[in-house]
Amino acid sequence: MKNTPQPLSLLIMGKEYKIACAADEQGDLLQSAAQLDVQMRKMRDSGKVAGADRIAVMAALNLAHELQVMKTQNAQLSQTLSECLEKMTHKIENVLDNQ
């Protein structure tokens, strides 16, 4: 029952959206909606973007860009960690072989 989709009500820029969501994912979805709401309100309040559709697209683009930057950084960190672990393993093997 935990993963059975449940209706969830989200409020983004004053509009209500009902979304079916697994119970164990509702917290993340609520946080995502709150983050989108903040982004959209910032754009609207800046006066640089007009119209809810354009605001939504620009906010989504900004969030998607932020996600892509984080994915790239994560991949780089994973690669660096793998290289460090490989060097450490090699050093440990050398020490063990020389005993």
Q: How many domains is the chain built from?
A: 1
pLDDT at 99: 78
pLDDT tens digits, 39-92: 999 999 998 888 989 999 999 999 999 999 999 999 999 999 999 999 999 999
Residue 47's region, left for phi above 0, alpha for psi from -120 to 50, else beta, is left
Residue 89 CA to residue 42 CA, distance in Å, equals 49
Which amino acid belongs to residue 34?
A
pLDDT tens digits, 9-49: 999 999 999 999 999 999 999 999 999 999 999 999 998 88
Number of H helices, E strands in the chain: 2, 2
User: Which residues have CB under 8 Å from 54's CB, separation 6+?
Assistant: none
Q: Which CATH number is 32's domain given?
A: 3.30.160.880
Instruction: Note the residue count of the chain.
Output: 99
> Which residue range(s) make up the domain with 33?
5-97
